[in-house]
Amino acid sequence: MDYKQLLAFKKGFELAMLIFNISKSFPKEEKYSLTDQVRRSSRSVCACIAESYRKRIFPAHFKSKLSDADMENSETNVWLDFAHACNYIIDETHLDLIQKSEEVGKLINYMMLNPSKFGVSGK
């Protein structure tokens, strides 16, 4: 299986693209702060999942990179909270994005708790 077929990757990629499109409407003065941060962290979720999958021959590295993905996902939530508090996104959009992020987090945690289902050996 290719990492792009992992449900966590697919859902994370979808979320990152939603955030990218929504953040296009953020004020210009946020370009190098909030906009950049939320885009980077949401994209890093996918990058870390891809890296973890390629490191699956090393169980500790697999889990470590997934932990990084989970951390980036949590960071994304913080930036979404700021975007909401600054009134850059409405309540409904905020809730939808947070729910999608929580789903990604659950999928990442499932991978961490069940590494053998993703080709990680117990060595």
Given a contact cutoff of 8 angstroms between Cβ atoms, the answer to whether 80 and 18 are in contact is no
Q: Is the pLDDT of residue 106 over 80?
A: yes
pLDDT in tens, 88-97: 999 999 999 9
Structural domain span for residue 19: 3-115
Alpha carbon of residue 91 to chain centroid: 20
pLDDT in tens, 25-78: 999 999 989 999 999 999 999 999 999 999 999 999 999 999 999 999 999 999
| Within-domain flag for 123 | no
| Within-domain flag for 9 | yes
Non-local (6+) Cβ contacts of 5 within 8 A are: none
Give 1's pLDDT tier (boundaries 50, 70, 90).
confident
| Within-domain flag for 84 | yes
Q: Is the pLDDT of residue 123 over 60?
A: no
Q: How many domains does the chain have?
A: 1
Helices 59-85, 7-23: axis angle to 10 degrees equals 30
| Within-domain flag for 46 | yes
